[in-house]
Amino acid sequence: MRAIAFELLRRVSEDDSYANLLLPKLLGDAKVDSRDAGFIQELAFGTLRNRLLYEKIIELASSREIRTIDAEALIVLLLGAHQILGMRVPVHAAINESVNLAKVKASKSSVGFVNAVLRRISERSRDEWISKVCHLANSGEERLSFEHSHPLWIVKSLKAALEGRGLADSLENLLIADNTPAKVSVAALPGFANVADLLDYGTLGTASPIGLELNVPPSRVPQLQNGYVRVQDQGSQLAVLALLAAEVKVEDSRWLDLCAGPGGKAALMLAVAKQRLVAFEANEVSAHRAKLVQQALDPISDVKVTIGDGRNVAQEGARFSRILLDAPCTGLGALRRRPESRWRKRATDIPELSKLQRDLFKASWDALLPGGVLGYVTCSPHLSETTALVSWAESAYGGDIELLPANVILNEINQTLGLDVSFRTAQLWPHIHGTDAMFIALFRKKVNS
């Protein structure tokens, strides 16, 4: 079991693999039963989430800098640290199994080192180690970075985003939520499934009116097999529902999901489009992801997914009454679901992403009919990817653009959300709404534009 977790961490580190996509393949190849699979996922994903904290602890326990430790031995140490400090594995078993793993996966010279370091780690509790690590911090933000294992730039970015919403005091709660594995949420596609018929499998979602939080494995939900119910975060559901609830002032006859991969939002849009007798199109720049979108849409209706750069959409000549721009972003809003993603992105990625987001917005705006609505969505609360884009769009398009009250629209969809209507854009939060940190802005092109 531990060898599978080791392989996952190795490939995430060396091959830039996605843990949530790689794990099912590794488990399937090894023919692991469900109980062992749960242990492996908790071990691997928990280690990934807590990597920074464990690295600091390993440095203290070994009196060595992380960069001087062989990669294979470090993975064994990280897995061992999580078993000792983050799981209910008996200490002797965690150490013995880690030593055995080191004998197989690491160099012979590292076996004794692994044994000594893990024994040193086992001498203190998690809280005691956190206290020692936090003494190394030079600021309150760095303390939170170490304790909750978030890169410092992400802590600062999340703090700034929360401050912008008057929620600065909840930063630590957000970091804790990022480290708490999210429950599996599903969406009952309108016209194809009813969330009330799924109550044997979970509880009604607190955010989305078509959402359900599962209390059974997804494989036990029959409607998931036929494609009428989809695994989807409730924040993503709300993003689509908000766009489709916004008032258009043009014939509402043609919709587009511009960056549709992997297809969850597109499937929800298509289901509602069929109810309203509206034409729907989906586009994706990546051929691989376009295939995933096609697979997502096929159970609902025969819709061909186009493959192309979304920045060229207006050049094709088609015009739409509603466009969803789920823009490529840092993904900082989904850290609880993607344990390695906090280590994958860098602050230096932001300028390039911001330019891409603006370019896609320009193309979407040009393809939008006067009176139509554009939904700009990111799974990130980073100010450069959210409110900065909104300010830029309002400045760029002046009197031709109208920012619709997204929070008012969402509160009408679900009154219990209680979103602050003094903000015209919506920012959802894991620690407040139980969703990914989705940002939603709705723009209408004025008819005289």
Give the side-chain half-sphere CA count within 13 A for 298. 8
| DSSP secondary structure code for residue 248 in this structure | P
Prior bond of 262 cis (ω within 30°): yes
CA distance 449 to 231: 39
Helix axes 71-86, 108-121, angle to 10 degrees: 30
Read off φ and ψ for residue 374, nearest 5 degrees: -110, 125
Q: Check if the beta carbon of residue 241 is closer than 8 Å to that of residue 216.
A: no
Name 254's bridge partners: 279
CA distance 107 to 119: 19
**Catalytic site residue from 134, 259, 329, 379:** 379
| SS3 state of residue 101 | helix
Residue 9: alpha-carbon gap to chain centroid? 19
Candidates 245, 269, 242, 247; CA nearest to 256 is 269
Name 443's bridge partners: 374, 403
Kindly provide the b/e burial profile for residues 114-136, where b requires at least 16 CB atoms within 10 angstroms of the residue's own CB: bbebbeebbebeeeebbeebbee
Name 403's bridge partners: 443
Q: Check if the beta carbon of residue 404 is closer than 8 Å to that of residue 322.
A: no
**H-type helices in 320-429, by residue range?**
341-344, 350-367, 387-397, 406-413
**H-type helices in 126-263, by residue range?**
126-134, 140-147, 152-164, 171-178, 222-225, 234-245
| SS3 state of residue 255 | strand
Catalytic residue status for 134: no
| SS3 state of residue 426 | strand
Hey, which residues are catalytic here?
379
